[in-house]
Structure 1
């Protein structure tokens, strides 16, 4: 079975082809340079960029892969309404012209199933942890296509905090890679208070406020690396403590980490420590598959079709779609 995947949930445009569960080809276009001057993603600008790049990317895919496809998988939520709508309209056009089925993919589920591009299904029950600019969520993954959202941030996502603090530091959007690079040059950190919240729910706005307060005390740029390290340690340690609680309560066998921030080595190491402590398996995609991409959409669509799930041309986007069974 051959599935074409389309990703336009935010500011990255991507198209990929998966055949019998293996990635055949992928193209993507990032809008980072376009949004840098605004300090973040501007929804209307993102939509315009998708409009300009979707057809050229599709033509590139057609040049590389000429076989007839069996289905089109497209991200329909969560994400920016304008961006989702453009990707969905493009996918419907292909499905209609090629006379193939269409399947609407949940962007967060796709981040979890990105593990299938390089690895395998996790051992169940597993814990899916999605960390990105828009989401910080823990998902109990108890079987094939069986999910339960059990913990999430009630305010800022971790990636959002990093971008907002980065803007204060004069770091261009997105700030994650530069924040991580800065922290590699020091072992000393400026301590920032960690999350104090019971249960599985999370709130990172307090860490953001405390970090801004500490940053405004800094008088020398030489202290930026120590501050960057302290911020990341605070955010990632707070998350890993929540992960550990879920591991103990649900007898988790394996952890799957996904989302753009999952490319961060400090986060990977923190989650890896929890796995080592409790003798758990740990699956995390290569950094290129942590960022938003169409390969994860295609593999998710492929998996959904195997589970007997597909849609028709009445499919609509759901900008606030929550992951669930």
Structure 2
């Protein structure tokens, strides 16, 4: 059918992608938003300003000096597919998407950031066939810790309903807060993983859920207590990630009991962690995004634009 552009301006990454449906290939370009040393995040006003500065650089890196005519343009318009889901940072991507779609006389499609994560996971795992049936998706990141029931939808490609979540902190927040305790710059995921891999201790953590929901704020407190009592930094890092592994497993098992043993897809930056991936793969299996496409990216949004265009022609 042609070329489909995706734009995603999440709270921490400026991202663009180009999907070529003629050969099922994708290229993408992205850049993390700058966070001041010692801080654990950004205010929305700062995120919006950073995207305005970075988006021209990121889109030029993707397209170079070529003049493309797009057959569809997709963008992330909101964090999740629920009423009231909104973040100002997505307005930056929306503005550019509207301009480029108008320039190409191409249809414009809006999606949730979460739907983009799921689509990127399915594409990178070569499991787009799951879009034709029901499955469970888990989205673990700095802003989301959710289990999702996903069904096919003719108009929006997929219908997403939350069935479990966190009652306090998100998994990615815990990683960044514990990383901050250990002197690791934000975002802390990769460096915390490297540190944890130097620890030979396995922490067998028992997780108590409330229904199918988890509570993660206690992990931060336990890690702080470990440091105060003289534990080594790599031990604290390993305990943190072992607890997240146990939490992901407990949530997965709870949903399997409720929904049956249907396909499970894991997406979001936390699932790029090798400890989490290996633990869940060993005990429960499942479909994982590649590490490259686990964190925020516009690949899924570009792909969803193609799938929406395809459906409009039926």
Tell me by how many angstroms 1:233 deviates.
0.8
Compute the TM-score of the two structures, normalised by the length of structure 2: 0.87
* 1:239 counterpart residue number: 248
Tell me by how many angstroms 1:244 deviates.
1.0
Moved more, 148-157 or 76-85: 76-85
Tell me by how many angstroms 1:171 deviates.
1.2
* 2:82 counterpart residue number: none
**Is the 8 Å Cα contact of residues 136 and 152 (structure 1) preserved in structure 2?**
yes
3-state secondary structure, aligned to 2:16 = strand
**Is the 8 Å Cα contact of residues 13 and 297 (structure 2) preserved in structure 1?**
yes
**Is the 8 Å Cα contact of residues 121 and 289 (structure 2) preserved in structure 1?**
yes
**Is the 8 Å Cα contact of residues 9 and 76 (structure 1) preserved in structure 2?**
no
Residue among 113, 122, 145 paired with 1:136: 145
**Is the 8 Å Cα contact of residues 190 and 226 (structure 1) preserved in structure 2?**
no
* 1:292 counterpart residue number: 296
Residue among 115, 123, 128 paired with 1:117: 123
* 1:279 counterpart residue number: none
**Is the 8 Å Cα contact of residues 18 and 24 (structure 1) preserved in structure 2?**
yes
**Is the 8 Å Cα contact of residues 116 and 298 (structure 2) preserved in structure 1?**
no
* Structure 1 unmatched ranges of 5 or more: 277-281, 310-325
* 1:6 counterpart residue number: 7
The size of the alignment, in residue pairs, is: 299
Tell me by how many angstroms 1:154 deviates.
2.0
Tell me by how many angstroms 1:110 deviates.
0.9
Tell me by how many angstroms 1:115 deviates.
2.6
CA displacement, residues 244-284 of structure 1 (integer Å, 9 cap, x when unaligned): 121132123321110011100111122213325xxxxx221
Counterpart Cα distance in 1 of 2:287 and 2:129: 8
Which contiguous aligned blocks of 4+ residues in structure 1 show a shift greater than 4 angstroms?
none
* 1:73 counterpart residue number: 74
**Is the 8 Å Cα contact of residues 9 and 15 (structure 2) preserved in structure 1?**
yes
Counterpart Cα distance in 2 of 1:285 and 1:190: 26
* 2:45 counterpart residue number: 44
Compute the TM-score of the two structures, normalised by the length of structure 1: 0.84
Tell me by how many angstroms 1:64 deviates.
6.4
* Structure 2 unmatched ranges of 5 or more: 80-84
* 1:90 counterpart residue number: 96
**Is the 8 Å Cα contact of residues 127 and 139 (structure 1) preserved in structure 2?**
yes
3-state secondary structure, aligned to 1:272 = helix
Tell me by how many angstroms 1:189 deviates.
4.8
**Is the 8 Å Cα contact of residues 9 and 80 (structure 1) preserved in structure 2?**
no
3-state secondary structure, aligned to 1:166 = helix
Counterpart Cα distance in 2 of 1:244 and 1:163: 26
* 2:176 counterpart residue number: 163
Tell me by how many angstroms 1:167 deviates.
0.9
3-state secondary structure, aligned to 1:82 = coil
Cα distance change of structure 1 residues 70 and 226 upon mapping to structure 2, 3 Å threshold: same
* 1:152 counterpart residue number: 165
**Is the 8 Å Cα contact of residues 131 and 259 (structure 1) preserved in structure 2?**
yes
Counterpart Cα distance in 2 of 1:70 and 1:48: 29
